[in-house]
Every structure is written in C-alpha cells, then in structure tokens.
Chains A and B, each alone.
Chain A
Amino acid sequence: DTEVTQTPKHLVMGMTNKKSLKCEQHMGHRAMYWYKQKAKKPPELMFVYSYEKLSINESVPSRFSPECPNSSLLNLHLHALQPEDSALYLCASSQDGRLGQPQHFGDGTRLSIL
C-alpha cells in the first residue's frame, strides 16, 4: 500500500478542458513534489513545495498550475494541455526536503490528452 494517494488514477481530457490532479499524504511530510514520467523514461521534476511554499519550478509551462492548500494536499491544475503532455504524473513527498531524504511516491495519474 502506498502512503501517498493520487486521484484520479486515469484521466482523459480534451485540449480545451480544465481538470485537476490531487495528491494526499498523511505522513506529516513537509515537502511535496510533482513529476512527469513518459513511458520507459525516468521521472522529470516539475515542482517542489516546501512547507506549503513553492520552492522549485523547473520552467514548467503555465498550462500546469500547482497548488498546496495545506501540508497534506497537493494539487496540479491543468488547462489547455497539448497531446505531448500525455504521461504518468507522479506525486511524491519527503520529510522536509533536506538532503538525503528519500521520496515516497504515489502510484500516479495516467493522463491522456485527446
């Protein structure tokens, strides 16, 4: 059982739709991450939140908008996505983002853009 829960597991959306991905953890972790993973590739970091503040944005297009409402929740708002955005989106958390801490991953949301 994963301790990081992501919903939905699958999402199909058109390029004009607005949708949101949700991530939740109850381990008391204060750092949370969004990754994008294409098939047979490693995860690519998108965003990092530390103590509910955005600390890293890896030059992600503005059609992806992260939100961290509280220490347990992380959202990724999607708008006007492109077909190349189809991928597995992984959420992860770590104790407080300091060096040497492993990340705990959810099982991801598989996103398909029509």
Chain B
Amino acid sequence: AQSVTQLGSHVSVSEGALVLLRCNYSSSVPPYLFWYVQYPNQGLQLLLKYTTGATLVKGINGFEAEFKKSETSFHLTKPSAHMSDAAEYFCAVSYNTNAGKSTFGDGTTLTVKP
C-alpha cells in the first residue's frame, strides 16, 4: 500500500537553529509531494510542492524540500528557525493510482525554543 511516514512526531529546535522535518513515502509510481503547515485554530496552508522537474523545491517562509527518489524522501528544511515557525507540519502525497486523493502523514509538531 502506498503511504507516507513522518519520522518524529515532535521536533524541538532553538531559535536560529536548522529545522529538519522528515518525510518518507512508499510508492511504485511517481508521487506528487506536498508540505503543509497548520497553526493553532487554523486550516492547513501549503508550504511547497513537488510535481515534476527540479528536485529542490523552495517554498514560503524560507522553507525548502528536496525530492530524493533513491531514498523515497522529501524532507523539509529551513536554515534558521523563528519563533513563528512553531506549528504542526504535514507531509502529503498523491498518486495517479488513488484517484488523486492526498494521503497525509501523521504530522510533526515543531517547537521553537528562545
């Protein structure tokens, strides 16, 4: 079955430190990959997406992610964490074999310490 796994349900970093949130997918067909962020009492907001083309994708708020087919990964990074980055982050994947539905990972809660 095709799925997406986010390693680490909680990640804590200091302000100014590197943010690394991990996402791995399992698929026998090319995936479409997304990262969303959810702030408290809000809906999900798209950070970035990979469909085809360049494997390093830049998104909003200084985030970027790299699609690595050999590692079936799409990890999210940001060079320097801000307090405002504290939120829930979801990796999502869709395939042309599941009617285009998006499958979400379980989420990673990012805490930023002052």
Chain A interface residues (CB < 8 Å from chain B): 2, 4, 40-43, 45, 48, 55-56, 90, 92, 97-100, 102-108, 110
Contact = CB atoms under 8 A, between A and B. Distances in A.
Contact of B90 (A42, A45, A97, A104): A42
Contact of A105 (B45, B52, B88): B45
A48 B101 contact: yes
A42 B102 CA distance: 11
Interface of B: 32, 34, 36, 41-46, 49, 51-52, 88, 90, 94-96, 99-102, 104-107, 109
Contacts of B49: 100, 102
Contacts of A99: 32, 51, 94-96, 100
Nearest to B88: A40
A70 B77 CA distance: 40
Contacts of A104: 46
